[in-house]
Chains A and B, each alone.
Chain A
């Protein structure tokens, strides 16, 4: 018995240590944003201030970078959600001999370092604009959207594949038997079924785009996003204003991610309850009519 207790205590201690390690650096960073000294420090805590946050709103580069990041995020969602959906649907239909080759191609961006995706995108489009003379494509925003979408589409595809695996094909057949066209089946049966996954994919795609640095820093060329402005500043030196920015970004992304997670949980619970209720009523029905069986 005692060895069991010791084991439990050790595990508890380890878990506490782990979470301290996980949150410690972030908590320290957060604390420095509210401390008055001009050098980021949290000990001694000389006084609570919000002036570092006020500085941010007046920083033209940061405001510009933020706008650009949001804009790029929206474009990436617009590209990678439909592309990921098409990729997932096609995987279930692709010619059997080409299937593993196709899968290798579409998951390869997930397993490629982000810097390499950024580099290859810039190299290719610089080359293509050289040949075709279409100079407007060789633009930081366009290239960043293309580069980020190449791997974010693979993320969304994996989300859609998980949902598609649970799709009941007989629903499609029922709709067809009732006279629906193939296109109607797609829009009125498949898309409504995929809706929760589409919601997840939008959130994941936007967050992945917003927080991306490795791919963006190559593809953005001379332009800026919030993460590249931030990286440039941090390389030069640390100030409490940067901590304030960090707190602001963390607050937005983390609150977004946590709310999303809670929402997803609730939806899963509702679905599970519905399934249980359906199973119960079905059981009741079969119990009520034994003679017809």
Chain B
């Protein structure tokens, strides 16, 4: 299929969806008759109604939907020199995805082990880091939400907000200073006589994984805190009075109540970790496998945007699958976690 078909579809699709909802809405209003109440323009007045429609229209269509559709479209196109874009050779193809799987745009003889391994590792490590961050944050979040007195809670909040706003690259930089071969940790180890050679933490990916676990910790913290904070303390008191051991209270009262918070924290941490670019660039060794730098290189090293778009889409699909899985496991709806 020629790529010009996609052009039409991309620009027509948002228009068709909006038109379909508009037709449905008008039909429903006609059916309801006078019971429908004042319409959109009558509720807001002309100037505000125009502002709402224009602002949201530009945002959703030109900043969210069309970019995403274009990226999907580009990922199915062959790599051609610019003069040939839109020419007869510009037909939809799976070659960019074939390259991800087999390391070649034509042959399917051998697997593309480097990229597949990097992808698998990124997803696996991101899942582990998400779980680790949850375990680290839970006691503190519970303490702040249910135990701490107001004055101490305020202090803790300020102490959490400060590092929360530290830039991603600077966090990675801080970890690099710690883990470099002449870094703080190596000097301390050598000074204490534990080793006489600096340990290469960066090549061993220790620096990267601890930097990643550190980077998005507070996302989990605030999500958990917000969820546990809404739990009525009387429920915990009641359970304690009835003789429930402490782990029963957490397992059967606090955790079920905090489910939406856990889900939203997990979603955010996973998405940010799997999509992290600063930490792998700064903390990755020469042979470190992480997926986002590979995507970056498709664009700005290989200048193969079609392939880059395909790789980006693969990452996005992985994140969407993760979100859907979390929603399924926790039996939640999207509206409950996106707050």
Interface residues of A (CB under 8 A from B): 11, 14-15, 18-19, 21-23, 25-26, 28-29, 32, 39-43, 82-83, 85-87, 89-90, 93, 95, 97-98, 100-117, 119-121, 123-125, 127, 130, 146-147, 149-150, 153, 158, 181-183, 185-186, 207, 211, 213-214, 217-218, 227, 230-231, 234-235, 238, 242-243, 246, 249-250, 253-254, 256-258, 261-262, 265
Are the C-beta atoms of A214 and B45 separated by less than 8 Å? Answer: no
Give the number of residues in B that approach A within 8 Å (Cβ atoms): 92
B24 on interface, CB distance cutoff 8 Å: yes
Contacts between chains A and B (CB distance < 8 A), count: 254
Q: What is the interface of chain B mostly: helix, strand, loop, or mixed?
A: helix
Query: Which B residues touch A185, using CB under 8 A?
Result: 45
Q: Give the distance to chain B from A151, nearest Cβ to Cβ, in Å.
A: 9
> Which of B69, B177, B272, B299 lies in contact with A28, CB distance below 8 A?
B177
Q: Give the distance to chain B from A95, nearest Cβ to Cβ, in Å.
A: 4
Are the C-beta atoms of A158 and B339 separated by less than 8 Å? Answer: yes
User: How far, in angstroms, from A116 to B67 measured CA to CA in the complex?
Assistant: 10
A44's closest neighbor in chain B, by CB? B187
User: How far, in angstroms, from A15 to B28 measured CA to CA in the complex?
Assistant: 57
User: How far, in angstroms, from A111 to B173 measured CA to CA in the complex?
Assistant: 26
Can you give 5 contacting A-B residue pairs, CB < 8 Å? A100-B335, A113-B274, A119-B295, A123-B71, A182-B48
Are the C-beta atoms of B55 and A11 separated by less than 8 Å? Answer: no
> Which of A107, A109, A257 lies in contact with B165, CB distance below 8 A?
A257
Given contacts A111-B271, A124-B66, A261-B158, are A95 and B24 in contact (CB under 8 A)?
A: yes
Are the C-beta atoms of B267 and A115 separated by less than 8 Å? Answer: no
B9 on interface, CB distance cutoff 8 Å: no
Are the C-beta atoms of A246 and B173 separated by less than 8 Å? Answer: yes
User: How far, in angstroms, from A158 to B223 measured CA to CA in the complex?
Assistant: 14
Q: Which of B128-168 contact A (CB under 8 A)?
A: 136, 139-140, 143, 154, 157-168
Query: Which B residues touch A235, using CB under 8 A?
Result: 281-282
B174 on interface, CB distance cutoff 8 Å: yes
B191's closest neighbor in chain A, by CB? A43
> Which of B56, B74, B139, B176 lies in contact with A123, CB distance below 8 A?
B74
